[in-house]
A = this chain, B = another copy of it.
């Protein structure tokens, strides 16, 4: 993540101890590098050599800590999965109207996706390349359950129109993350602009929220 090879680090090296022997730090560094690599290339395409190089350790370390590429991948996926779920769960939804809750949830999701481009790519690869094999180990309800819950309440209270909560939750996430996932294909649509600049990201967030909020609201709102 920081690009500094561990072999060149000197951080609090106790006297003449061999350069940086910090198991927890190494493990965590490997996870960071692995997340980048898996996001770019998927489980199959990821190269352990590349992960080792980014971390600044040798390939052997990968296997020392994670036994296999597959187990490293599972560790990355679990960490990513829990991180995104926690964002949704950290919001006190009960205290808000369905309208407020949905908009708040959406904004948090969009900000998270814009900051953490890796997750969307990893989840996509997981779905297409691995057919959800690992995703479904954690599965449960994840973000979709939270969104569907809000939508269901909104329909019951009359804030939202008649809609299917689960289908709509999935379509909402699609409208939110597609821009980031497919950005390298669609960059020519905004020639000269950087799609990840804060201007463009804020614009996308605004447009996505407006599309979705108008899309679910009851017409007599």
Cβ–Cβ < 8 Å partners of A141 in chain B: 189
Mostly, the A contact residues are helix
**Interface set, chain A 132-182, CB cutoff 8 A to B:** 132, 135-136, 139, 141, 144, 161, 163-164, 166-168, 170-179, 181-182
**Interface size range of chain A in the complex:** 35 or more
**Interface readout for A178-221 with B: 1 if CB under 8 Å, 0 if not?**
11011111111110000000000001100110111011110100
The answer to the question of A123 belonging to the interface, with a C-beta cut-off of 8 Å to chain B, is: yes
- Asked if B211 and A168 sit within 8 Å, CB to CB, the answer is yes
A163: shortest Cβ distance to chain B, in Å? Answer: 7
A81 to B191, CA, bound (A): 20
- Partner of A144 from the list B139, B189, B212 (CB cut-off 8 Å) is B189
Interface locus among A14-22, A41-49, A66-74, A90-98? A41-49
A170 to B173, CA, bound (A): 13
A110 to B216, CA, bound (A): 20
Interface of A toward B, CB cutoff 8 Å: 39-42, 44-45, 121, 123-132, 135-136, 139, 141, 144, 161, 163-164, 166-168, 170-179, 181-190, 203-204, 207-208, 210-212, 214-217, 219
